[in-house]
Copies of this chain bind each other. A is one copy, B any other.
Amino acid sequence: MIYFNCDYTEGCHPKILERLCDTNLMQTIGYGEDEICDAARAKIRAACGRDDIDVHFLVGGTQANATVIASILRPHQGALSAETGHINVHESGAVEATGHKVLALPATPDGKISAAQVEAAYTAHVNDASFEHMVQPKLVYISLPTENGGLYSKAELTALHDVCTRCGLYLFIDGARLGYGLTSPENDVTLRDLCDLSDVFYIGGTKVGALFGEAVVITNPEIKPDFRYHIKQRGGMLAKGRLLGIQFDVLFTDNLYFEISKKAVVQAKRIAAVCKEAGCTFFADSPTNQQFPVFPDAALEKLKEKYVYSYWARVDETHSAIRLCTSWATKDENVEALCSDIRAIMADSAK
């Protein structure tokens, strides 16, 4: 079977593995205070073009989301999120387990919310006679790219940043797949922009070349103090913290993070183009490494003889949307095989 179901089906980029082997018997202190972590932090600061940011390494995305949100909010405050946002749907209530409501907003098909929606939610809250009986919106959570592959433009991010500033809200960007967003041809946002436009974001490693790991970047000085206590309390402080340093150090050496992301996006777009030619519509437009083509159910039956995909949603009685992902590890020959099989299956299906 060939896996296109998600972007975490393999281990890590060979250069990371090599570095793990090279450093394996080196002795360091624990918990991310070693020199390798320091070096990785410095490289991320350089890539961001900002010396004043705090960089912390956590193991996974759910952990990063809950830790960041719980470190910022007071108990009566909640996080605005797209209905389809990862924190609202796929984290088994991790944010609620820290005591906070996720305030869901309707999302576009590609998983985005707008500055106007945020402002409306904020305004509705402060103007409600019962405002003290309601959860106070205090943080905006978005993902870039979104769970449905969508991208925020620089203009959209700037609008979100501006409304957050006006309304006293924090902007937090989940970058679990950040590489695949920043290297999309449709993207006009840089790492530096993320620093300047958000209060905190993270650079996903798990889905972009690492075994695991997310680099949380805190730009707002208000939320920097004591963050390491929160990492520890939420179970995210790795004893052998250098493992995270090693991985991000490699990823941020010689532009590796972006190189491998870019290739995956090219592959995903090739698959999307073939799907389109073959007559598929799309559940959501995605300029990134996740694609959401709609297939006749009969075609899916054939596809799954050889490929693993993620079932996404029923579209009508005879059609379903699936998710096909590429990643830093996707082999060109597998992309070719998939494209050719999609063509054949769809041609067949059209008969």
Contacts and interface: CB of A to CB of B under 8 A. Distances in A.
A8 B239 contact: yes
Interface in A205-248: 206-207, 211-212, 226, 228-230, 232-240, 243
A229 B92 CA distance: 6
A120 interface: no
A238 B226 contact: no
A97 interface: yes
A93 B329 contact: no
A24 B10 contact: yes
Interface string A72-105: 0011101000000000011111101111111010
Contact of A96 (B59, B92, B100): B100
A78 B226 CA distance: 13
A350 interface: no
Interface in A115-154: 129-130, 132-136
Contact-size category for A: 35 or more
Given A9-B27, A11-B20, A233-B75, A101 B90 contact: no
Given A62-B232, A234-B97, A238-B60, A226 B17 contact: no
Interface string A297-312: 0000000000010110
Given A5-B29, A62-B232, 13 more contacts: A3-B27, A8-B240, A11-B243, A61-B239, A75-B230, A76-B226, A78-B93, A90-B130, A93-B100, A94-B233, A99-B99, A132-B229, A234-B234
23 contacts: A6-B30, A8-B239, A9-B27, A10-B26, A10-B27, A27-B308, A31-B132, A59-B60, A75-B93, A76-B93, A76-B230, A76-B232, A90-B133, A93-B100, A94-B235, A96-B100, A97-B98, A97-B233, A129-B311, A132-B228, A132-B229, A136-B229, A234-B235
Interface of A: 1-3, 5-6, 8-12, 14, 17, 20-21, 23-31, 59-63, 66-67, 70-71, 74-76, 78, 89-94, 96-102, 104, 129-130, 132-136, 206-207, 211-212, 226, 228-230, 232-240, 243, 308, 310-311, 329
